[in-house]
Amino acid sequence: MTGKMLGVLVLALVPSTCRDPQGQGGAPADPGTLPRLGVYAVGVDGSSFRLLLDPGTRDLTHVRKQPGGEWLTATRYNVDADGNGLAMELESGHSNNYAAAEVVVFPMSQPNAMTKVAGAVPGKLCANSSWTADGKLLFIQQDHPANPDWTRFKRASFSAVPAVTSIDPVPTPPELLLPVDPHQVGPSDGTGSIVFAALFQHPSGWMRPVWRMPAAGATSLSGASFVGCPICPGNNGCCAWPTFPEVLGTNDPQLSHAGTEVIWMQQHPDISVRPNLHPYRQQKKPASGPQIDLTPPGVAPSSSQSFAVWREDDLEVVYWAIELEGTAVRWNLYRMKPDGTERRRIPIPAQLCASHPNYISSTEIVFSGRRCAGSECTCDVGKL
């Protein structure tokens, strides 16, 4: 997840109703028994909860499992900008902090055996890795020879994981600026597809829609197709802004495994907690027809629903929500049908602030977790 202020965005008046299912997987009741940061696995029904990895003081996010294999990939952080003793994606007062971040891989059976694939360069971004169907690793990195601060897509190939044989750039149309959050379905040649978010200067102004291109990349705008965006009727289409720092746009698009539908998160100028604080909402582009707003009826205006990921059979989606329970900010995980119905919270220990869920099987997910803080057990990043 890049280019967003998710940790400071969201409050929602949601009652605290889902707590630790005692006796299922040995979930701890004492907050002191959980590490400050961790990578966890849990059944979608709350069973078999377990700690996979205690990363110490360096947060791991975007944990994703290799299709058909046992390897996981993640983004690891190396800078503690707010001085709380933890290097995290969300640093209080600093928004997202990807400086010196790196892409790593590690096996589920031996998660402490971690190998860096790329990154860990001071001041440079390297993040948001995901596996491809043909066993490669797609991620973003700042290392363009013409402009080292420019973000571009990279794809790592392996002789056998974790031995890297090559890391090659994946071209994107030059008109699409600051491409982020790539997700690939299908092989890495021309028969696969990548969806991503990127800035675009339309005659009406700046916008950041979701785009789709062949997995081999595209060197011109004619090689990419538009998927979706925040819609402003007064603009007769995508919302647009005079300058790109103002843009409210899309992030974290995910293709269904069939390659026919895309789900993503986006902000909209008409949904805000206060000025310049806009929560995320989920959208979907079906195989045909216009994009669909998946926001459920009755959701609090300030609730953030984000980072949706498809189950392998495309019949379920898991996602991350940030909500207010009483007066405490909470990070919760949910699953739902792809049409946005039958939303159910996944039971995890109340002491955990959970984020970035991904399926590791049809019945189990992996996620990043932070221990909550204070008597209210808040997930407010500034209090961790």
pLDDT digits 0-9 by tens, 277-302: 899 999 999 999 999 999 988 888 77
Residue range 321-361, pLDDT digits in tens: 998 887 888 999 999 999 999 999 999 999 999 999 999 99
Specify whether the CB–CB gap between 305 and 265 falls below 8 A: yes
Rounded to two decimals, the pTM is: 0.91
Structure token pair of residue 189: 């040649």
Q: Are strands 163-170 and 177-185 parallel, antiparallel or unpaired?
A: unpaired
Beta bridge partners of 334: 319, 345
Any idea what DSSP says for residue 31?
Answer: G
- Number of neighbours of residue 274 by Cβ within 10 angstroms: 7
364 exposure class (CB count in 10 Å sphere: 0-12, 13-18, 19+): middle
Stretch (H or E) spanning 160: strand 151-160
CA angle, corner 7, sides to 37 and 284, nearest 5? Answer: 110
Structure token pair of residue 184: 């690939």
Beta bridge partners of 293: 283
Specify whether the CB–CB gap between 63 and 367 falls below 8 A: yes
pLDDT value, residue 276: 77
Beta bridge partners of 142: 151
The number of helices, as runs of H, and strands, as runs of E, in the chain is 1, 27
pLDDT value, residue 302: 75
User: Which residues lie closer than 8 Å to 116 by C-beta, 6 or more apart?
Assistant: 76, 102, 103, 104
Residue ranges of the chain whose pLDDT lies below 70:
1-32
